[in-house]
Amino acid sequence: MANAATNVESTPSAAPARRVRPRPQYRAVVVKRVQDLTPHMRRITVTGSELAGFSTQGVAGHVRVLLPAPGQETPALPEWGPEGPVYAEGQPRPTSRAYTPRRWDEEALELDIDFVLHGDNGPASAWAARAKPGDKLAVVAPRRAFQPDPAADWHLIAGDESALPAIATILEVLPASTWAMVYVEVTDALEELPLPSAARVEIHWLYRRAGAPGSKLVPAVREVTFPRGQGRAWVACEAEVMRSLRRHLIAERGMDRAAVNTQGYWKAGAANHPDHDTGEDI
């Protein structure tokens, strides 16, 4: 029996296949638990039947978290049209920000997301600071998971507190055969979190205190002595700090671009920095 694909190929007048944009699933969830991990890191566990079938797609990926617009209790979710998401006319758009799925429990349908509380100037941070069980939100489009190279002899991992959830997920999957040098810039010692790993890990906590983002991370990475063998770098932090580190790793250290995975997780002075800023301009 001929299948549909065979029929299309053998019909000369068939119109060229139209690229269909994948439809991400908007999953309505509620807050189940709120736990302060540190003074500035709050774990919010969300749950809901719409999480059935969710997958984190690997480590250090992200979801878009959709939060109710001011004055709403539930975020308005779009319908999916041919050109992408369409919101009902006059409906306020939800606040959408990128966050790392820190822990996913498929049986309990629980997803942990760790929010940096950086102040009330960010709607997501402000929402997290006030979140309580029962609050409604949605998550969509798990994306861009990272696959640490199992053949690498060593990994250089650098980031700020916004990258701590992603760094934790990477360290959880690194094999015992590898070596990881981890540099994390946070405000002070109260922001340190456990980072378990099977790998041989050397963790450097860097305290910026009242200093600028990157003021401790950049000089620390510049001073790292790279071990012998094949190395890989993973960096996520403020966007200009990321660029400074990317430039250093590629232009000054001579690392291959393919061995350097970088991402600007937020940008000083800019709201909702795009979640595809991988610093390719460097």
Ligand X SMILES: Cc1cc2nc3c(=O)[nH]c(=O)nc-3n(C[C@H](O)[C@H](O)[C@H](O)COP(=O)(O)OP(=O)(O)OC[C@H]3O[C@@H](n4cnc5c(N)ncnc54)[C@H](O)[C@@H]3O)c2cc1C
By beta-carbon proximity to ligand X, the closer residue of 61 and 154 is 61
Residue by residue, DSSP assigns 179-213 as EEEEEEEESSGGG------SSEEEEEEEE-TTSPT
Residue type present at position 74: T
Q: Closest CB to ligand X belongs to which residue?
A: 122
Report d(CA 5, CA 8) in Å as an integer. Answer: 5
Q: Which residue has the tokens 């916004």?
A: 162
Considering beta carbons, is residue 215 or 272 the nearer one to ligand X?
Answer: 272
Binding mask 27-66 for ligand X (x = CB under 6 A): -----------------------------------x----
Nearer to ligand X, 197 or 262 (CB): 262
Among 26, 154, 183, 265, binds ligand X (CB under 6 A): 265
Instruction: Mark residues 92-121: x for contact with ligand X by CB under 6 A, - for none.
Output: -----xxxx-------------xxx-x--x
> What gap in Å lies between CA 72 and CA 95, rounded to an integer?
11
Spatial separation of the C-alpha atoms in residues 139 and 27, rounded to whole Å:
5
Q: What is the CA radius of gyration of the chain?
A: 21
Tell me the residue type at 15: A
- Phi/psi of residue 107, nearest 5 degrees: -70, -45
Among 94, 123, 214, 279, binds ligand X (CB under 6 A): 123
Q: How far is the CB of 120 from ligand X (least distance, A)?
A: 9
Number of residues that bind ligand X (CB under 6 A): 27
- Nearer CB in complex with ligand X: 115/154: 115
CA pair distance 249, 41, nearest whole angstrom: 29
Site membership for ligand X, residue 266 (CB under 6 A): yes
**Closest distance of CB 273 from ligand X, Å:** 6
Residues 145-174 that bind ligand X (CB under 6 A): 162, 165
Q: Where are the beta strands (DSSP E) in 134-191?
A: 136-143, 154-160, 179-186
User: Which residues would be at the binding site for ligand X (CB under 6 A)?
Assistant: 62, 97-100, 114-116, 118, 121-125, 162, 165, 263, 265-273, 275
